[in-house]
């Protein structure tokens, strides 16, 4: 459950007045955070927390404020809420991955499942794709090679939800750099399987 902190400054203006124009309010809080005034921004956000229970931007700003105050466990809770509200938005996913990779997000609360509720669906989808046998094609006058056609996005593209099945799919497609990137992320997220993932990376490096 996300913890609500009561602002310490009793002179802050009434919350209803602060949200009469939400876009201006969030812009003001963002400015506070950019200046390093994390407590000030957090105080303003907590005054209106009841008005934005399902706001992605509200929870993302709260997470940034808590990170600025070195309260990483609370920041992680707000980032997880962001991922629940908008699973397709990669901003919070990246922040959460970076936080977990730093090891700072688990000092006060047990880790929540990072991939639920969509990782199971992704695992099933990638498994199904691996079973799919497309019609065999050959090279033609098309200037794009078959190898390039098999790669759906750049090797540098952020992968929000890395899974072993997705890494296996990329390996089968010959997209070795993408597979290596996923195994590297998985080492950070599942250190108990680090030896296995490192062996996969070593094998793929030999194929490049």
User: Domain spans of the chain?
Assistant: 15-102, 119-132+146-207
**How far is the first Cα of the chain from the last one, in angstroms, to the nearest whole number?**
46
**CA dist., res. 160 & res. 157, Å (int):** 9
Tell me, what's the pLDDT at 60? 92
Residue with tokens 């609360």: 109
Q: Looking at the whole model, is its pTM more than 0.85?
A: no
Token pair 């921004």 is found at 41
| DSSP symbols for 31-52 | HHHHTT-HHHHHHHHHHTGGG-
Q: How many degrees, rounded to 5, is the angle at CA 34 between CA 33 and CA 40? A: 30
Query: Tens of pLDDT along 127-179?
Result: 666 665 655 555 555 555 555 545 555 666 666 677 888 888 888 888 888 88
Tokens linked to 188: 């950070």
CATH number for the domain formed by residue range(s) 15-102? 1.25.40.10
């Amino acid at each position: 459950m996300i913890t609500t902190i009561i602002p310490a400054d009793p002179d802050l203006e009434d919350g209803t007045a602060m949200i009469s124009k939400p876009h201006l309010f969030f812009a003001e809080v963002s400015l506070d955070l950019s200046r390093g005034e994390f407590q000030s921004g957090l105080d303003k956000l907590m005054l209106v927390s009841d008005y934005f229970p399902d706001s992605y931007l509200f929870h993302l700003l709260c997470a940034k404020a808590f990170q600025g105050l070195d309260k990483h466990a609370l920041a992680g809770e707000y980032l997880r809420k962001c991922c629940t509200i908008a699973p397709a938005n990669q901003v919070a996913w990246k922040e959460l991955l970076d936080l977990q990779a730093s090891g700072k997000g688990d000092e006060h609360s047990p880790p929540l499942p990072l991939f639920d509720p969509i990782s199971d669906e992704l695992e099933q989808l990638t498994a199904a794709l691996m079973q799919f046998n497309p019609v065999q094609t050959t090279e033609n006058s098309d200037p794009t090679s078959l190898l390039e056609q098999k790669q759906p996005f750049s090797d540098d593209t952020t992968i929000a939800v890395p899974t072993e099945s997705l890494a296996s799919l990329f390996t089968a497609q010959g997209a070795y750099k993408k597979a290596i990137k996923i195994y590297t992320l998985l080492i950070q997220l599942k250190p108990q399987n680090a030896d296995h993932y490192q062996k996969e990376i070593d094998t793929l490096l030999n194929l490049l």
